[in-house]
Amino acid sequence: KVLGNGFELVPLGGGRFLVQSVPGELSMDHSRVLQLAEDAAYVTKELIMDKLRWVNLYFEKVIYDFINY
């Protein structure tokens, strides 16, 4: 691997990549939230729920995991 152990490249599209430094501990859902933040420079509950088509309960679970990570 080019980046070595402990790193992963997550494709964002348009030739851009997110360097994820803790593989396996961040889920794909967490990566999707980070991608939204990259694209918009911020995220809100409404933005996440709208763009990812999540219901409130799912949003709360993923954000809780993020915060308590």
Structure confidence by residue, pLDDT tens digits, 14-64: 888 887 775 456 788 988 999 999 888 899 999 999 999 999 999 999 998
CB atoms within 10 A of CB 26: 19
State the Cα–Cα distance between residues 17 and 12, nearest whole angstrom: 5
State the Cα–Cα distance between residues 54 and 7, nearest whole angstrom: 28
- Domain positions in the chain are 8-67
pTM assigned to the model: 0.63
- The pLDDT score that the predictor gives to residue 60 is 94
- The pLDDT score that the predictor gives to residue 66 is 80
Q: Does position 2 have pLDDT exceeding 70, yes or no?
A: no
